[in-house]
Amino acid sequence: PMGSERMEMRKRQMSTAQETPGAAQAQHSTGNRGSNACCFCWCCCCSCSCLTVRNQEEERARRTSHELQAEGIPNCEESPAPTLEEVNAWAQSFDKLMLTPAGRNAFREFLRTEFSEENMLFWMACEELKQESNKSVIEEKARLIYEDYISILSPKEVSLDSRVREVINRNMLEPSQHTFDDAQLQIYTLMHRDSYPRFMNSAIYKDLLQSLSEKSIEA
């Protein structure tokens, strides 16, 4: 029975393929006025490129929108170059690493290589939210954080358990500076336990440490 079903399907596919050229020829024989015509083409010729131009414009608009969104995420925080003492301190604890912009930048560079940069971006967004006092700004930033990092539809969704998600959904009824506190702590703990040990053994950290050590010796 399976073989007969496949054979029947193949027949239908062949039949459709044979009918398509005839249908296209019939449509062409009725004249080029109609579907090929557009508001910019007075001659209604079949080679009109208006559709192509429109598609190019839409693609350009999508690309521009994507670039603007990307510009909203700075590649790194502004900070002075780390000292050898600071970089050595990063190895003492995750808290000391996260305490300085230089430490966060180096760690964020490492997370980018593991395709988990959204964890740091979410943590930073939560820190920024805590600094706000204007109610309307808080609501807008909370909405953006939810869309960017909590929504299951977002490509930057962070990994949270169901309990924390339930808390966030309740908090979003009346957003505040602390709407994402539980989620931020969970992501902080995840970065500490999962990513931080690998960062300390990474080329990014070791190369930076070696470079600063060599400069210190030269000085």
pLDDT at 77: 79
Number of compact structural domains in the chain: 1
pLDDT at 68: 34
Residues linked to residue 38 through DSSP beta bridges, in sequence order: 41
Q: What is the CATH number of the domain that holds 212?
A: 1.10.167.10
Range of the domain at 127: 84-218
pLDDT at 182: 97
150 lies in some domain: yes
31 lies in some domain: no
Alpha helices in the chain (DSSP H): 2-29, 50-71, 84-90, 94-99, 101-113, 117-130, 135-145, 162-171, 181-190, 196-200, 203-218
48 lies in some domain: no
pLDDT at 181: 98
pTM: 0.66
Q: Which residues in the chain show pLDDT less than 50?
A: 1-8, 11-12, 15-16, 19-55, 57-58, 60-73
56 lies in some domain: no
214 lies in some domain: yes
100 lies in some domain: yes
Would you say 48 and 38 are in contact if contact means Cβ atoms under 8 Å apart? Answer: yes
pLDDT at 173: 97
pLDDT at 60: 46
Phi, psi of 38 (to 5 degrees): -145, 170
User: Hey, what are 183's tokens?
Assistant: 């989620």
pLDDT at 44: 44
pLDDT at 153: 96
- pLDDT tens column, 131-154: 999 999 999 999 999 999 999 999
pLDDT at 80: 83
